[in-house]
Copies of this chain bind each other. A is one copy, B any other.
Amino acid sequence: MDIIQLNSFKPTNEHTIVPRRIQFKQELKQELESLKRIFLIIGNKASTTEFNLNDLPSSGGRMDLICRFIAQTLFISHGIRRNSASIAILKGEPDPPKAVFAHGGKVRYMAPDERNIAGLLRKAVKYGGKEWKEVSPGIFSAKKGLNEVLEEISDFYMVYLREDGEDISHTLSISPKDKLAFILGDHVGVEKEDENLILRYAEKIVSVSPLSLQADQCVVLIHNFLDRLEFEEFEEKDKLKRI
């Protein structure tokens, strides 16, 4: 009965026993299908065990920043971006790395305030299994690092955010029609080793501002850049219909 409940599972033979490990893997793959925009942040100090909700910056290893990042990837006014997702790679003590994946189309009981999202993350980091597990609705957790996660989302057109990158507003190669994944660092930045990994996958390096901004601010600007492109396309189509 467990197997049937996983809606991603399509058995070729009713009697095949599928090990639990593979079920989770398939489940994440299916989650990616409905997504158009993924935002991945590397939390260099972000806690990998239960942290204090009253002290996100210190006990959480700047978990406040991760919470704002997730909020900005998913929320608009009175609504949620159902085709967007966040991934946070948590590299803080005591058990790095861990990955948390939040799917805008699946999350429930999430509000945009830091404490609410921190509560969900606190639950997510408790889990230490190797494969993805949906720890609360729309929130998946796994003991995985950047390398594994980049490989799992490698069907997406990957864009690396760096201050010396090409201005996103001059970029012609990023289309809202594509499945896009944006990779960002936290307040510490991106360590050399992680950057080398990212550059293996990234097809583009862009920047969004002449100033050095916080990760969540970059997300707001990227969403707006894509929303405007989508809206223009929509308007164009609308004009064509009327001719």
A: which residues have CB within 8 A of B?
A: 53-54, 56-57, 64-65, 68, 72, 75-79, 111-116, 169, 187, 208-214, 217, 220-221, 224, 227-228, 230-231
Contact A115 B221, beta carbon cutoff 8 Å: no
| Alpha-carbon distance between A212 and B53 when the two chains are bound, in angstroms | 30
Name the CB-closest residue of B to A55.
B115
Given contacts A64-B112, A208-B224, A209-B227, 10 further A-B contacts (CB under 8 A): A53-B54, A54-B54, A54-B115, A56-B113, A56-B115, A64-B115, A68-B112, A76-B217, A78-B187, A113-B114
Copies in the complex: 2
A210-B228, A221-B224, A231-B210 known; A113+B57 contact, CB < 8 A:
yes
Chain B residue numbers with a CB within 8 Å of A64 are 112-115
Contact B211 A76, beta carbon cutoff 8 Å: yes
Contact B115 A212, beta carbon cutoff 8 Å: no
Contact B114 A214, beta carbon cutoff 8 Å: no
Name the CB-closest residue of B to A214.
B77
Chain B residue numbers with a CB within 8 Å of A76 are 211-214, 217
Report the minimal beta-carbon distance from A122 to chain B, rounded to whole angstroms: 14
